[in-house]
């Protein structure tokens, strides 16, 4: 099999790059090791985006949400399926890209890459695709940030919010203080769970928590509806309880370090996720700093390996401070197509972001003035 552009990852930005390529007449193959937009599939059922529909819309197709509110996971997945169909894409789902090799030497008449695919279920099924250029859009949420504490692998402990219905009538301990932790705590309390939340900081910070959630979690914890354990970290988990200890900075300030056991039937460790940089690394991309940010040129999205590009949140490595989102990645497709294939920017723009009528530019300072 041969193509001009192979795109690894069918998240929103992978789909957008593929749609822009298809729109420009470039033969593309879009591959995902899981379902379409597997990262979004892995979100808790019924959760909402924090970005507005205008920012989440891709490929020049407006995102209509049922009540003109922030889109839910389910609305967005339905929308992405529609975008794939309307843009005529045929993603190869359930195929993992296992290796990307530069084609070089006398046996390679054309420059480009050999890309190895392995079927996600039947691993003896393998294929190699020849591609002139490759884009890696594998996101930044491949694996949970493990705490490495005793009991973390117990069956009632999860790093994924999942369906909150399962917490009905149960004692749930949530660990974390950002959007996912706070949203799950509020929703689980609302549907009838007894909820406690442990956070390593002394208070919820509205820099990290969406304002609607920040308001509500502060109210619920202040009124005692949800038990709040500020400045604590979990140190072990048993089948019945989570043991919390004072956060290290408190201990450094002279706190006794006394632990407390909080009863739990379920434990949600909302401690963030990490990117899987193994494909980038094995393809020869240089990874920089603690966050393993791939080395790339911001004007073209090309990495230090010529012809190999990054797009979407994969370009930001392990984001400890989230700066890269879907809404900040809409220019990636145009930059890549211009550099790799000389596509005019206007042509690529017709297949990126939302429709022009809905487009209004704004930056982080417009959302969080402080
Ligand atoms: C509850 C929640 C709310 C969020 N809200 C927002 C929000 O409001 N706004 C926002 O912008 N972001 C939000 N995010 C983050 C959002 O998920 C990412 O910004 C978005 O998915 C990034 O898109 P992407 O296309 O860059 O990568 P992803 O969507 O992460 O897609 C990566 C894809 O690559 C595939 N893949 C990985 N490795 C391979 C391989 N070797 N071979 C083949 N395929 C591979 C994966 O299966 C996956 O489908 C939220 C996340 C959560 C959990």
Name residues whose C-beta falls within 8 Å of residue 345's C-beta, 6 or more positions apart in sequence: 334, 338
Mean predicted lDDT score pLDDT of the chain = 93
Is the confidence at residue 352, as pLDDT, over 60? yes
C-beta of residue 329 within 8 angstroms of C-beta of residue 312: yes
Confidence of residue 107 (pLDDT cuts 50, 70, 90): low
Predicted confidence (pLDDT) at residue 256 exceeds the cutoff of 80: no
The least confident of 90-94, 185-189, 229-233, 354-358 is 354-358
Torsion, Cα of 55, 75, 12, 123 (10° steps): 160
Cα of 138 from ligand 1 centre, angstroms = 7
Span 180-215, pLDDT tens digits: 999 999 999 999 999 999 999 999 998 889 889 999
| pLDDT for the residue numbered 105 | 59
CB-defined site of ligand 1, < 6 Å: 8-14, 31-34, 37-40, 43, 47, 49-51, 96-97, 137-139, 141, 180, 279, 312-314, 325-327
Q: Which residue has the higher pLDDT, 53 or 368?
A: 53
> In which residue are the tokens 């911001």 written?
298
Task: Encode pLDDT of 55-93 as tens digits.
Answer: 999 999 999 999 999 999 999 999 999 999 999 999 999
According to DSSP, the residues that pair with 112 across neighbouring strands are 103
pLDDT of residue 330: 94
Q: How far is CA 186 from the centre of its chain?
A: 22
Spacing, Cα 83 to ligand 1 middle (Å): 16
**Of residues 319 and 121, more confidently modeled:** 121
Taking CA 310 as the corner, what is the angle to CA 306 and CA 313, rounded to the nearest 5 degrees? 165
Model pTM greater than 0.75?
A: yes
| CA proximity to 198, closest of 177, 167, 220 | 177
From the CA atom positions of the chain, what is the Rg in Å? 22
Which atom of ligand 1 sits closest to the CA of residue 312?
Answer: 26
Helices (H), the chain: 12-23, 38-41, 53-56, 73-86, 179-191, 211-222, 248-252, 278-282, 332-341, 345-349, 364-367
Q: What share of the chain is helix, strand, coil (3-state, %, to 5)?
A: 25, 25, 50
Cα(340) to centroid(ligand 1), Å? 24
């Amino acid at each position: 099999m041969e193509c001009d552009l192979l795109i690894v990852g069918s998240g929103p930005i992978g789909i957008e790059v593929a749609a822009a390529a298809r729109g420009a007449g470039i033969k593309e193959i879009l591959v995902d090791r899981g379902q379409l937009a597997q990262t979004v599939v892995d979100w808790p059922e019924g959760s909402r985006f924090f970005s507005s529909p205008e920012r989440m819309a891709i490929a020049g197709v407006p995102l209509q949400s049922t009540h003109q509110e922030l889109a839910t996971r389910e609305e967005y997945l339905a929308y992405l399926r529609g975008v794939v169909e309307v843009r005529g894409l045929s993603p190869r789902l359930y195929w993992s890209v296992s290796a990307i090799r530069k084609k070089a030497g006398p046996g390679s008449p054309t420059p480009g890459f050999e890309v190895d695919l392995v079927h996600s279920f039947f691993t003896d099924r393998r294929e190699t695709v020849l591609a002139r250029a490759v884009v890696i859009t594998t996101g930044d949420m491949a694996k949970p940030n493990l705490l490495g504490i005793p009991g973390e692998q117990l069956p009632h402990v999860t790093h994924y919010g999942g369906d909150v219905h399962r917490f009905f009538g149960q004692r749930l301990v949530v660990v974390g203080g950002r959007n996912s932790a706070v949203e799950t705590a509020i929703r689980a309390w609302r549907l009838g769970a007894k909820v406690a939340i442990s956070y390593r900081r002394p208070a919820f910070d509205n820099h990290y928590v969406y304002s609607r959630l920040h308001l509500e979690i502060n109210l619920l914890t202040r009124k005692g509806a949800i038990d709040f354990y500020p400045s604590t970290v979990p140190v072990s988990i048993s089948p019945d309880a989570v043991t919390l200890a004072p956060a290290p900075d408190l201990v450094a300030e002279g706190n006794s370090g006394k632990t407390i056991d909080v009863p739990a039937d379920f434990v949600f460790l909302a401690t963030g996720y990490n990117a899987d940089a193994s494909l980038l690394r094995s393809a020869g991309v240089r990874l920089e700093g603690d966050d393993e940010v791939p080395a790339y040129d911001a004007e073209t999205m090309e990495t230090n390996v010529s012809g190999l590009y990054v797009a979407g949140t994969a370009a930001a490595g392990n984001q400890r401070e989230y700066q890269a989102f879907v809404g900040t990645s809409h220019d990636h497709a145009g930059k890549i197509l211009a550099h790799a294939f000389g596509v005019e920017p206007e042509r690529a723009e017709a297949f990126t972001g939302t429709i022009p009528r809905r487009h209004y530019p704004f930056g982080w300072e417009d959302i969080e003035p402080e």
